[in-house]
């Protein structure tokens, strides 16, 4: 015998208004989704497609699903990828060391001039960064305003130079990315409740202990964001290496640029770009796991 | 930027009134839409077109006789965008404005056509990369005349149909005065697409303030005395062919094995630790700033600096005893150029011996117009005052007027065909990326 355990309930009609309300978030997200689809998803698919093709720029490229493009790209450029990662690590470290005191000082001692200081910090960046980098190549020129003078004064030997060295490339990238390090640090330092520092001192913490036990941990979200915002563009940078660098300073961005523009070997160039993106993505994920993802959103 | 209103710009009007999407494009685009069902079909659809053109323009198409007749009926317009390499046109610094380029100013005076001259090309590779997207999608590049070396980029532009076939009736001066070395060149049979602008030698430039003793070989650049102040060209035709000549290989008939040997030689420059950089046209600024003391160089760049600028009087240009490679830079008209008639008129203008001579007297390159060379010689003989020495130096320089004996030391680039391009690139390009 069949038994209905459930009592028969009358069909309840969901009010039209609530249905509409349930759809509203999708409607609101639509412009962003369309944007992402057109400007991110489609280009990504086009890139992945191109990276598996073969051919040349004269006869065109055909899809052959040649995965060897990836292994070729990796095996030929392994040392340059490592160099880019090393440079980016140095840049990030140096930028953090330079940026933290600046951000700290503005946040804690800037007073009513905080915005003025921040504006001054950003002021040079109203000029295109390529132009600023080229300007550095003139300033750092062997007989330019700095080294020319020092050489005339006999402080430096005639053959001394900075242009065309790894030092120049790393310094250039650091200079160009410094605001991206300072700003997130500033934001997180600015948010720290000053009473916590006072409380630490009331509890007999030295100034140093108050910093290491209170301020530094509370600014971790800022450090986390600063490291990501500095290291990711640093790995892919090619302008500094091409303007300030020389032989032995090529970065992976230069190789991709050259594959695209000089060799017009689009498949290998896109394969390399995707490999680079993968490396950065994996790096960022590991980093986020180690430090906790919620910190990104806090900063 | 383009300083004309779109309403008067013929290329804009043409663009608005003519079909831009070909049937093939339409089918391909439709395929992208339809193929969205399966990822692999999308992957397959995103191709990059190349499709070398084997035949000339069909009737009515850009570059055909009919098209030229229509263009000529419209007239040459009132404006030309001319994009060239630096240090390539005569200057008169005592005058401001357009008059500071005397030969170009004479053209404007004579025809009423305004010329915007930009010295924007620093390397064939980078410039081609910058205009290729516009050419690929059938748009105006913004340039009416561009000047490309006889490198792979020019060959590719011709093969892909990116250049407008010239109208044979619009270059009377070329027909009458062009030197035999510049007619029917191997890279453009019958001068269908190009007319040589100037030609020169890839040799060695140095500053005698820092470099002493005769420079006789590429090996001299590796002298540890010049470490950090020495540079080479980052284009494979110049670097590769110069290295082959150094090794006693004739580049014109070289084989991939020879390229490999040349690459090994060039690798020495990387390993020496003394190389400042693999450079493009930026080498000229670097030697002017004294960042470079000795470098691979293009003949006229160095000679012009030395002769016309007192601060560079210590510059010297020479070629290795083993010989050197000769380049030809060619004026051409990219597709959809706004003013093709004016562009070809201007290119032909410089085949008038009078204006060819004005160029040579300034930039100290080989002139494609032998009669212009005669005028330079005559001017040098007749000159007085400060100009006399400069003109006589140019008139007697083998780098401008090569003797038969000297000319035997000069080689041409290797002409690459088919798969050779990829092989060549794979051998040479990694050297420039260290």
> For residue B226, which residues of chain A lie inside 8 Å, CB to CB?
none
Predicted local distance difference test score (pLDDT) of residue B385? 83
Query: In this model, does residue B89 exceed pLDDT 50?
Result: yes
pLDDT, tens digit, for every residue of B213-261? 799 999 999 999 999 999 999 999 999 999 999 999 999 999 999 999 9
A170 and A215 both lie in a single domain: yes
Under the banding of pLDDT at 50, 70 and 90, the label for residue B30 is: very low
Å from B402 to nearest chain A CA?
Answer: 33
Predicted local distance difference test score (pLDDT) of residue B140? 95
A117 and A170 both lie in a single domain: yes
Average pLDDT over residues B387-411: 93
> For residue A164, which residues of chain B lie inside 8 Å, CB to CB?
228, 276-277
Among candidates B160, B269, B276 on the partner chain, residue whose Cβ is nearest the Cβ of A164: B276
A158 and A217 both lie in a single domain: yes
Q: Say if B59-199+329-382 and B200-327+385-432 have the same CATH topology.
A: yes
Query: In this model, does residue B21 exceed pLDDT 70?
Result: no
pLDDT, tens digit, for every residue of B187-224? 999 999 999 999 999 999 999 999 987 999 999 999 99
The answer to whether residues B143 and B337 touch, using CB atoms and an 8 Å cutoff, is yes
Interatomic CA distance for residues A235 and B219, integer angstroms: 36
> For residue A265, which residues of chain B lie inside 8 Å, CB to CB?
425
Of chain B, the percentage scoring pLDDT greater than 70 comes to 87
Interatomic CA distance for residues A248 and B267, integer angstroms: 12
Query: Is residue A63, in this structure, part of any structural domain at all?
Result: no
Residues of chain B whose beta carbon is less than 8 angstroms from a beta carbon of chain A are 39, 42-52, 125-126, 129, 156, 159-160, 227-229, 269-270, 275-278, 289-291, 421-422, 425, 429-430, 432-434
Predicted local distance difference test score (pLDDT) of residue B37? 43
Average pLDDT over residues A258-286: 91
Å from A227 to nearest chain B CA?
Answer: 27
Query: In this model, does residue B8 exceed pLDDT 60?
Result: no
Domain span at A264: 70-298
Query: In this model, does residue A59 exceed pLDDT 50?
Result: yes
Least confident of B7-16, B243-252, B272-281: B7-16
Mean pLDDT across chain B, nearest whole number? 88
pLDDT, tens digit, for every residue of B408-417? 999 999 999 8
A235 and A286 both lie in a single domain: yes
Contact A53 B156 (CB under 8 A): no
Under the banding of pLDDT at 50, 70 and 90, the label for residue B11 is: low
> For residue B429, which residues of chain A lie inside 8 Å, CB to CB?
258, 262-263
pLDDT, tens digit, for every residue of A104-118? 999 999 889 999 999
Query: In this model, does residue A19 exceed pLDDT 90?
Result: no
Alpha-carbon dihedral sign for residues B167, B168, B169, B174: positive
B33 burial via Cβ count (<10 Å: 0-12, 13-18, 19+): exposed
A166 and A289 both lie in a single domain: yes
Contact A254 B433 (CB under 8 A): yes
Six-digit token pair at B283?
A: 């080498």
> For residue A255, which residues of chain B lie inside 8 Å, CB to CB?
433
- Give the chain B residue nearest A160 (alpha carbons): B228
The better pLDDT of the pair B46, A265 is held by A265
Q: What is the biggest distance separating any 2 CA atoms in chain B, rounded to whole angstroms?
A: 79
Average pLDDT over residues B360-384: 94
Predicted local distance difference test score (pLDDT) of residue A23? 83
Residues of chain A whose beta carbon is less than 8 angstroms from a beta carbon of chain B are 45-46, 48-50, 52-53, 55-63, 65, 76, 80, 138, 141-144, 159, 161, 163-164, 245-248, 250, 254-255, 258, 260-266
Å from B434 to nearest chain A CA?
Answer: 5
Query: In this model, does residue B20 exceed pLDDT 50?
Result: no
pLDDT, tens digit, for every residue of A193-236? 989 989 998 999 898 999 999 999 999 989 999 999 999 999 99
Task: Confirm or reject CATH 3.10.20.30 for domain B200-327+385-432, answering yes or no.
Answer: no
Query: Is residue A4, in this structure, part of any structural domain at all?
Result: no
Contact B43 A52 (CB under 8 A): yes
Spatial CB neighbours of B93, under 8 Å, sequence gap ≥ 6? B100
Query: In this model, does residue A32 exceed pLDDT 50?
Result: yes
Average pLDDT over residues A284-299: 70
Interatomic CA distance for residues B116 and B79, integer angstroms: 8
A197 and A167 both lie in a single domain: yes
Nearest to A100 by CA among A209, A232, A212, A201: A212
A154 and A190 both lie in a single domain: yes
Among candidates B43, B129, B421 on the partner chain, residue whose Cβ is nearest the Cβ of A49: B43
A108 and A221 both lie in a single domain: yes
pLDDT, tens digit, for every residue of B302-345? 999 999 999 999 999 999 999 999 999 999 999 999 999 999 99
A169 and A289 both lie in a single domain: yes
Task: Confirm or reject CATH 3.40.190.10 for domain B59-199+329-382, answering yes or no.
Answer: yes
> For residue B430, which residues of chain A lie inside 8 Å, CB to CB?
76
Query: Is residue A294, in this structure, part of any structural domain at all?
Result: yes
Contact A161 B44 (CB under 8 A): no
Average pLDDT over residues A57-85: 90
pLDDT, tens digit, for every residue of B104-114? 999 999 999 99
- Give the chain A residue nearest B282 (alpha carbons): A243
Average pLDDT over residues B95-109: 93
> For residue B52, which residues of chain A lie inside 8 Å, CB to CB?
58-59
Among candidates A55, A58, A142 on the partner chain, residue whose Cβ is nearest the Cβ of B159: A58
Predicted local distance difference test score (pLDDT) of residue A246? 87
Query: In this model, does residue B288 exceed pLDDT 50?
Result: yes
Q: Which residue of B28, B35, B43, B294 to mutate against A (max A Cβ within 10 Å)?
A: B43
- Give the chain B residue nearest A267 (alpha carbons): B48
Å from B131 to nearest chain A CA?
Answer: 11
Query: Is residue A64, in this structure, part of any structural domain at all?
Result: no
Under the banding of pLDDT at 50, 70 and 90, the label for residue B54 is: low
Contact A261 B42 (CB under 8 A): no
Query: Is residue A81, in this structure, part of any structural domain at all?
Result: yes
Å from A43 to nearest chain B CA?
Answer: 10
Under the banding of pLDDT at 50, 70 and 90, the label for residue B13 is: very low
Query: Is residue A134, in this structure, part of any structural domain at all?
Result: yes
CATH code of A94's domain: 1.10.3720.10
- Report domain extents, chain B: 59-199+329-382, 200-327+385-432
Of chain B, the percentage scoring pLDDT greater than 90 comes to 77
Average pLDDT over residues B287-294: 94
Interatomic CA distance for residues A214 and B137, integer angstroms: 59
Residue A66: half-sphere exposure toward Cβ, Cα within 13 Å: 18
Interatomic CA distance for residues B43 and B47, integer angstroms: 8
- Give the chain B residue nearest A79 (alpha carbons): B434
Contact A58 B421 (CB under 8 A): yes
Least confident of A29-43, A73-87, A281-295, B346-360: A281-295
Query: In this model, does residue A131 exceed pLDDT 70?
Result: yes
Interatomic CA distance for residues A148 and A151, integer angstroms: 5
Under the banding of pLDDT at 50, 70 and 90, the label for residue A263 is: confident
A45 and A191 both lie in a single domain: no
Number of residue pairs across A and B with CB atoms under 8 Å? 105
Å from B276 to nearest chain A CA?
Answer: 6
- Give the chain B residue nearest A250 (alpha carbons): B434
- Tell me, letter by letter, the H, E, C secondary structure of chain A: CCCCCCCCCCCCCCCHHHHHHHHHHHHHHHHHHHHHHHHHHHHHHHHHHHHCEEEECCCEEEECCCCHHHHHHHHHHHHHHHHHHHHHHHHHHHHHHHHHHHHHHHHHHCHHHHHHHHHHHHHHHHCCHHHHHHHHHHHCCCCCCCHHHHHHCCCCCCCCCCCCCHHHHHHHHHHHHHHHHHHHHHHHHHHCCHHHHHHHHHCCCCHHHHHHHHHHHHCHHHHHHHHHHHHHHHHHCCHHHHHHCCCCCCCHHHHHHHHHHCCCCHHHHHHHHHHHHHHHHHHHHHHHHHHCCHHHHHC
Interatomic CA distance for residues B377 and B392, integer angstroms: 8
Contact A247 B160 (CB under 8 A): no
> For residue B45, which residues of chain A lie inside 8 Å, CB to CB?
49
- Give the chain B residue nearest A252 (alpha carbons): B433
A35 and A141 both lie in a single domain: no
A28 and A86 both lie in a single domain: no
Contact B48 A53 (CB under 8 A): yes
Å from B432 to nearest chain A CA?
Answer: 8
Q: Tell me how many domains chain A contains.
A: 2
Under the banding of pLDDT at 50, 70 and 90, the label for residue A37 is: very high
Query: Is residue A14, in this structure, part of any structural domain at all?
Result: no
């Amino acid at each position: 015998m069949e038994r209905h355990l459930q009592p028969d309930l009358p069909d309840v009609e969901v009010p039209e208004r609530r249905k509409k309300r349930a759809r509203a978030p999708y409607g609101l997200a639509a412009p962003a989704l369309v944007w992402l689809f057109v400007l991110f998803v489609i280009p990504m698919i086009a890139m992945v497609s191109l990276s598996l093709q073969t051919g040349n720029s004269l006869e065109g490229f055909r899809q052959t699903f040649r995965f060897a493009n990836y292994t070729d790209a990796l095996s030929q450029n392994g040392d340059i990828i490592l160099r880019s990662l090393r440079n980016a690590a140095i840049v990030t470290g140096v930028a953090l060391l330079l940026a933290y005191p600046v951000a700290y000082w503005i946040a804690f001692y800037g007073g009513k001039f905080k915005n003025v200081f921040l504006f001054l910090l950003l002021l040079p960046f109203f000029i295109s960064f390529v132009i600023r980098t080229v300007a550095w190549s003139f300033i750092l020129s062997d007989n330019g305003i700095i080294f020319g003078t020092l050489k005339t004064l006999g402080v430096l030997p005639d053959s001394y130079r900075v242009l065309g060295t790894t030092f120049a490339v790393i310094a250039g990238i650091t200079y160009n990315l410094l605001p991206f390090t300072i700003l997130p640090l500033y934001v997180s330092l600015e948010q720290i409740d000053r009473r916590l520092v006072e409380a630490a001192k009331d509890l007999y913490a030295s100034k140093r202990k108050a910093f290491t036990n209170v301020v530094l941990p509370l600014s971790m979200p800022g450090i986390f964001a600063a490291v990501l915002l500095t290291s990711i563009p640093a790995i892919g940078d090619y302008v500094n290496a091409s303007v300030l660098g020389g032989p032995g300073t090529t970065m992976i961005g230069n190789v991709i640029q050259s594959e695209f523009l000089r060799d017009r070997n689009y498949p290998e160039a896109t394969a390399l770009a995707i490999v680079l993106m993968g490396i950065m993505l994996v790096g960022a994920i590991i980093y986020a796991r180690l430090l906790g993802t919620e910190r990104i959103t806090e900063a | 930027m383009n300083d004309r209103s779109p309403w008067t710009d013929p290329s804009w009007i043409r663009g608005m009134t003519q079909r831009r999407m070909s049937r093939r494009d339409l089918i391909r685009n439709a395929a992208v839409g339809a193929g969205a069902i399966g990822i692999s079909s999308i992957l397959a659809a995103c191709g990059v077109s190349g499709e070398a053109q084997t035949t000339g323009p069909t009737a009515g198409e850009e570059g055909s006789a009919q098209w030229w007749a229509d263009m000529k009926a419209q007239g040459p317009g009132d404006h030309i965008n001319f994009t060239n390499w630096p240090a390539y046109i005569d200057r008169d610094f005592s005058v401001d404005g357009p008059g500071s380029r005397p030969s170009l100013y004479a053209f404007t005076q004579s025809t009423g056509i305004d010329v915007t001259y930009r010295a924007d090309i620093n390397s064939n590779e980078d410039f081609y990369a910058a205009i290729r997207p516009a050419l690929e999608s059938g748009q105006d590049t913004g340039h009416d005349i561009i000047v490309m070396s006889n490198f792979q980029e020019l060959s590719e532009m011709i093969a892909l149909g990116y250049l407008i076939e010239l109208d044979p009736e619009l270059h009377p001066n070329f027909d009458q005065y062009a030197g035999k070395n510049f007619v029917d060149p191997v890279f453009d049979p019958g001068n269908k697409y190009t007319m040589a602008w100037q030609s020169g030698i890839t040799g060695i430039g140095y500053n005698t303030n820092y470099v002493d003793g005769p420079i006789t070989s590429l090996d001299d650049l590796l002298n540890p005395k010049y470490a950090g102040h020495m540079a080479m060209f980052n284009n494979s035709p110049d670097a590769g062919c110069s290295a082959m000549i150094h090794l006693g290989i004739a580049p014109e008939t070289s084989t991939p094995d020879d390229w490999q040997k040349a690459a090994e030689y060039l690798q020495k420059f990387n390993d020496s630790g003394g190389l400042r950089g693999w450079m493009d046209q930026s080498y000229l600024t670097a030697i002017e700033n004294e960042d470079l003391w000795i470098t691979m160089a293009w003949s006229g760049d160095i000679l012009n600096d030395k002769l016309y600028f007192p601060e560079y009087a210590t510059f010297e240009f020479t070629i290795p005893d083993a010989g050197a490679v000769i380049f030809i830079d060619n004026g051409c008209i990219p597709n959809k150029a706004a003013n093709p008639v004016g562009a070809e008129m201007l290119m032909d203008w410089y085949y008038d011996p009078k204006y060819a001579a004005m160029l040579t007297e300034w930039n100290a390159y080989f002139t494609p117009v032998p009669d212009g060379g005669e005028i330079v010689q005559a001017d040098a003989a007749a000159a007085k005052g400060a100009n006399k020495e400069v003109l006589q130096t140019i008139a007697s320089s083998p780098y401008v007027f090569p003797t038969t004996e000297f000319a035997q030391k000069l080689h041409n680039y290797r002409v690459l065909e088919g798969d050779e391009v990829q092989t060549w690139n794979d051998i040479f390009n990694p050297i420039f990326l260290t």
